[in-house]
Amino acid sequence: MTSSESASAGALDGLVIADFGRVLAGPYATMLLADLGAEVVKIERPGAGDDTRSWGPPFADGQATYFQAANRNKESVALDLRNPDDLAQARALAARADVVVENFLPGTMDRLGLGYAEVAEANPGVVYCSITGFGGQNDLPGYDLLVQAVGGLMSITGPSPDEPTKVGVALVDIVTGLHAAIGILSALRHRDTTGQGQRVEVNLLSSLLSALANQASGFVGADVVPRAMGNRHPSIAPYELVATADRSLALAVGNDRQFASLVQELGAVELASDPRFATNTERVANRDVLGKELAPLLAADTAEGWFRRLSAVGVPCGPVNDIREAFTLADRLGLAPIAEINDPRREGPVRTVANPITFSVTPPRYRKTPPHLGEGD
């Protein structure tokens, strides 16, 4: 394979994925794999399709942009799994697929004859990924808001413990989709080595508990139950939003060297040797006093001014951008955050959020726009 040929090839070329996933976690995982070359066949209900097709506004290309967020590079096949002929087509697809992904309530795929045992009998090398809300032994429906609540995330998000707040995006679904993709790729690696397929299971609650990282570890290791602190960090200071002359600035001082650079630029170098602030542990213990010391100093310039000045001396900080400004920043940094897909099925290019992974040989490819319902029939 020449370098030009390999550059145009996907790392997962030749892989076939039967995608029975709906909404976000499953479709997001399969879209990432589709970007890397996998052929993904999305099974949808005739007439309605994936629930997210109706989750709008906003709309683009006649589709809800929510649906577009997780379904590019796929074909859509409309099958009524209650219909024997359509069910037979679904079983045939699963029998030839390298990967099957599903996120129905536990037991649903078994009742359809599409469970892991049935599929693996016909297709021993299959990697079968099941995504549930609370594990395969529990038939509770999993919605991101619900899991953010019962999984503890809302208890540490928001201005105070009295105002639990959800994260502004379906973060649990996204994290679970990433875990699913990792599990699938790991199982494929095992199959490549041994020829043996297997079942991969992920669930929203376990994925969230893992993603709580230091907050969960503080409970597991030290029996500390964290609470919402607004924009402050439980273990680092100053690591929060601070007021400037015009708007808020995110200030993320992660070590003593950065703190010394901060106060030197602010014209208060003596704070670096002040016993109350000399170490991170002391700054955390005295964060309120520290905030009062920094507030009048930060009011002397704008958020953009401090961003330039503090970044120049190695202090992590930045203004609070809206989504448009965030994309503008990513573009200015050369990250190419938007991908335009030229698909012969469309009159013009369709813009989607680019895959964030870069490869030196097998980059993500944008071959197909998010499909209209049944477009792959």
Strands (DSSP E) found in 245-299: 248-252
Task: Name the amino acid, one letter, at 4.
Answer: S
Active site residue 274: no
Cα 175 to chain centroid, rounded: 5
Give kind and range of the element (H or E) at residue 321: none
> Is residue 368 helix, strand or coil?
coil
> Is residue 278 helix, strand or coil?
coil
Whether the Cβ atoms of residue 268 and residue 213 lie closer than 8 Å to each other: no
CA-wise closest residue to 35 among 12, 56, 5, 54: 12
The burial of 184, by beta-carbon neighbours within 10 Å (0-12 exposed, 13-18 middle, 19 or more buried), is given as buried
Q: Which residue out of 98, 173, 301, 343 is catalytically annotated?
A: 173
C-alpha pair distances (Å), 156 with each of 58, 162, 256: 30, 10, 26
C-alpha pair distances (Å), 243 with each of 210, 251, 318: 33, 10, 12
Report the catalytic residues.
173
